[in-house]
Structure 1
Amino acid sequence: MSAPATRELAELTGPQAAATLTANSIVVLPVGSIEHHGDYLPLATDLIMADEMSRRVVEGAAADGLDVWRLPPLAYTKSDEHAWAPGTFWIEGEELLATFRSIGRSLAATPARTIVLYNGHGGNVAPMGIALRDLRRRFGLRTFAMNVAVPAGDGDPDGAGGPDEHGLGIHGGWGETSLLMHLRPELVHEEHFTRAIPPGLVEREQIGFAGAPVQFGWLSDDFGFGGVLGDPTGADAAAGSRIASDLVSSGVAALREISTFDPAGGVA
């Protein structure tokens, strides 16, 4: 049986998968969402980012000599913060966790022992964290999670850093919009770009989003900006291309480290 040319696991036949996957194989599962992104980005923004960037990362890692494969992406995930907005399609956190369990169970039936969740949506982070330990305990898999970590605007537009988003550019902000302008420019509506930075959050030192000392429960329409958070003004495809290149470099480096990681402290 000839070696497959693809790195898309679902494009293999069953016998090819059984013969090709080994205990050293890394399987990457892109995790996106279908959710409201204002009036300038598509509902599939997070899915597009997770799907396309995981493909580039896997191809880069394979070219670097790693035994890495990619599954088709999950589209319907935990997006209930946008449930108020027509066009958002979401499932409960428990359903997403159950889906991860089922995929882990299926992977455990192959020779592969490592799964990487490559995530494009912040609302998936909590269920993914539970899934990492659950799949480790239930099936003995090596489990990891990565995110499409787009930067927030840092107030240095001359240095291609975009407008100052005060760390709040988490949904439809400069980085995400720039990346979409690079990946799928025909889906971005620049005429609707509007700054959406809640002043009440800028003034807070303790309360904020991921990384802040104090987290809080929120819905995307709590802030009065049509369900987006960030400042897309100044976003452009050139910045998106640089962001994509950085994501590939960091993603390949992450997969290289994953390939030799042993939680007991040794080398796998």
Structure 2
Amino acid sequence: MAILLQELTRPEAAARLAQMPVAILPVGSTEQHGPHLPLGTDIFLAEELAKRVSDATGAVVLPSLNFGYSWGWRDIPGTVTFSEKLMEEILIETARSVERYGVKVLVFLNGHEANTSAMKYAIRRVQDEVSVKLLGMFYPGIKEVYARQMESPTWGGMFHADEFETSLLLASDKKDLVQMDKAVREYPPVPPLYGMDDSSIGVISTSGVYGDATLASAEKGEAMMEEFARRTAALIGVALAGAQG
């Protein structure tokens, strides 16, 4: 059973972290995911994976970071976006906080690809300062898992509200929020200056989908989620052995 920090009492939290000094912070976003997925898709997926990893390892799951770097969707209703610098500071302060009571490994478990840079630079900035081992993870082994399980290609290497994310959410405890009757397929043309100027992903797709959401299934999602959980748990084991060694 997943161990959620917010549900523990003070003595329970102290005992759990003394026994298993690993904490997982689910990191996501609040932003559009097309006509068929909820705005909380990224954080829901990070939470689902975190719970499965907690089941496997006994690690404590911290309260989720529901907002992320969502600049591209900033004009879409419902979006809340942090700057990358603010994201870095939040992650750094989290590391400083958990170190004070003996956490040995802190995992930033990310469900929103655009947060990756903030995680990387937060770890680089603070790792020399803190003793806690920091890990930034975004679906470990994703390329291999995607190639084996997905029928549709990505949109230029990126996925958003597509077969991948829709399948994963169908395998989560938020599956009832998926409206498959509204799922669509869209591969919008890539603007010639995209990635080189301030072109926003928020205006490229008409539907908000980048890929083929119609091919999604709970079976695919379950297979992928279980593999991501196994890979994440194994990496945590490696990090914890090093931190305690």
TM-score, normalised to structure 2, is: 0.86
Identity %: 27
The answer for unaligned runs of 5 or more in structure 1 is 63-67, 209-213
Preserved CA contact (<8 Å) 2:170 2:221: yes
> Partner residue of 2:124?
133
Report Cα offsets for 1:181-229 as digits up to 9, x if no partner: 221232112222222223448xx9xx98xxxxx8775422242333331
TM-score, normalised to structure 1, is: 0.79
> Partner residue of 2:107?
116
Q: Is residue 165 from structure 1 mapped to residue 173 from structure 2 by the alignment?
A: no
> Partner residue of 1:45?
41
In proportion to residue count, which structure has more helix?
Answer: 2
For 1:6 and 1:249, locate their aligned partners in 2 and report how far apart those are by CA, in whole Å.
15
Preserved CA contact (<8 Å) 1:169 1:231: no
For 1:163 and 1:130, locate their aligned partners in 2 and report how far apart those are by CA, in whole Å.
32
* Cα deviation, residue 142, structure 1: 1.3
Task: Output the aligned Cα RMSD.
Answer: 2.8
Preserved CA contact (<8 Å) 1:173 1:229: yes
Q: Is residue 102 from structure 1 mapped to residue 93 from structure 2 by the alignment?
A: yes
Q: Is residue 142 from structure 1 mapped to residue 133 from structure 2 by the alignment?
A: yes
Report Cα offsets for 1:28-68 as digits up to 9, x if no partner: 11111111111111000001000111110121123xxxxx2
* Cα deviation, residue 121, structure 1: 0.3
* Cα deviation, residue 107, structure 1: 0.8
Preserved CA contact (<8 Å) 2:188 2:204: yes
Preserved CA contact (<8 Å) 2:92 2:123: no
| Distance change >3 Å, CA 37–CA 20, structure 1 → 2 | closer
Q: Look up the equivalent residue of 1:29 and give its one-letter code.
A: L
For 1:148 and 1:130, locate their aligned partners in 2 and report how far apart those are by CA, in whole Å.
18
* Cα deviation, residue 9, structure 1: 2.7
For 2:139 and 2:153, locate their aligned partners in 1 and report how far apart those are by CA, in whole Å.
20
For 1:148 and 1:160, locate their aligned partners in 2 and report how far apart those are by CA, in whole Å.
14
Preserved CA contact (<8 Å) 1:221 1:227: yes
Q: Is residue 237 from structure 1 mapped to residue 218 from structure 2 by the alignment?
A: yes
Q: Look up the equivalent residue of 2:37 and give its one-letter code.
A: L
- 1:90 is aligned, of 81, 88, 95, to 81
User: How many equivalent pairs are there?
Assistant: 242
Greater relative contact order (Cα < 8 A, sep 6+) = 2
> Partner residue of 2:187?
197
Task: Extract structure 1 runs of 4+ deviating beyond 4 A.
Answer: 149-154, 214-218
For 1:215 and 1:180, locate their aligned partners in 2 and report how far apart those are by CA, in whole Å.
32
- 2:231 is aligned, of 250, 253, 261, to 250
* Cα deviation, residue 146, structure 1: 0.9
Q: Look up the equivalent residue of 2:48 and give its one-letter code.
A: E
For 1:160 and 1:122, locate their aligned partners in 2 and report how far apart those are by CA, in whole Å.
19
Report Cα offsets for 1:104-133 as digits up to 9, x if no partner: 221121112321100000111111111112
Equivalences for 1:182-193 in 2 at 5 Å? Answer: 182-183=171-172, 184-193=174-183
